[in-house]
Amino acid sequence: MLFSQAMIVGGVDTVTVTLTWAMCLLMRNPNILEKAKEELDTQVGNQRCIKESDINKLVYLQAIVKETLRLCPAAPLSAPREFTQDCTLGGYHIKKGTQLITNIWKINTNSHSWPYPLEFKPERFLTTHKDVDVRGHHFELLPFGSGRRMCPGVSFGLQMVHFTLASFLHSFEILNPSSEPVDMTGILGLTNVKATPLEVLVKPRFSPDCYDL
């Protein structure tokens, strides 16, 4: 019970942060936003709301989430790890008890692994990096960490982000109320919070009947 409660409480902030950055990136890249809506209209249509079973068919939306987690990981620095024994790493002698904090954002934007590392390109996860996942199996992409101490809420977090983002994009048109590009400044902390509130204009995409619960 305590484990489940901790996972849900810890996931509220990180899911919100990830969804916020996903919306920012999509609003700054309207062509990608249109492709996401085209996929939703093709796979789901305009006569019903999104179901969880639809997510597996939304491969482009999944690529958008991966690219968002790569560029804007909710936790840019990992939780501290401690060396349990003396070892040599990269030619450096590391003493037992030394603490290590991994720069996840730097790993995710390493130009040796990612061409055009600071550009928002979800298509890379459908082509050159289609086999790279976010569950700690590929060390070039570690938004949830890796190993025995990686985030235990990875499945829960991905489910929430995919379903919420898909539902929002499917149900509403999203517009920038300002002529200026969306501000992408973040505040470095335990989570990668956007420095200024995200302001959007929304309007329904479908008839009122589609929004009945």
Let me know if 96 is exposed, middle or buried by CB neighbors in 10 A (0-12, 13-18, 19+). Answer: exposed
- The one-digit pLDDT tens for each residue of the chain (213 residues) are 545 555 555 556 789 999 999 999 999 999 999 999 999 999 999 888 899 999 999 999 999 999 999 999 999 998 888 899 999 988 999 999 999 899 999 999 999 999 999 999 999 999 999 999 999 999 999 999 888 878 888 998 999 999 999 999 999 999 999 999 999 999 877 789 999 999 999 999 887 776 665
The amino acid occupying position 39 is: E
Q: What is the pLDDT of residue 134?
A: 95
Q: Domain for residue 94, yes or no?
A: no
Q: What is the pLDDT of residue 80?
A: 86
Q: What is the pLDDT of residue 160?
A: 94
Q: What is the pLDDT of residue 208?
A: 75
- Residue 205's domain spans which residues? 2-73+102-211
Q: What is the pLDDT of residue 79?
A: 83
Q: Domain for residue 43, yes or no?
A: yes
Q: How many domains does the chain have?
A: 1
Q: What is the pLDDT of residue 74?
A: 93
Q: Domain for residue 89, yes or no?
A: no
Q: Domain for residue 79, yes or no?
A: no
Q: What is the pLDDT of residue 153?
A: 84
Q: Domain with 159 in it: what CATH number?
A: 1.10.630.10
Q: Domain for residue 126, yes or no?
A: yes
Q: What is the pLDDT of residue 13?
A: 77
Q: What is the DSSP string of 50-110?
A: --GGGGGG-HHHHHHHHHHHHHS-SSSBPPPEE-SS-EEETTEEE-TT-EE--BHHHHHT-
Q: What is the pLDDT of residue 85?
A: 94
Distances (CA, A) of 3 to 8, 78, 134, 156: 9, 20, 22, 13
Task: Compute the distance between CA of residue 5 and CA of residue 88 in angstroms, rounded to an integer.
Answer: 39
Q: Domain for residue 131, yes or no?
A: yes
- Model's pTM, two decimal places? 0.91
Q: Domain for residue 190, yes or no?
A: yes
Q: Is 170 helix (H, G, I), strand (E, B) or coil?
A: helix
Q: Domain for residue 97, yes or no?
A: no
Q: What is the pLDDT of residue 4?
A: 59
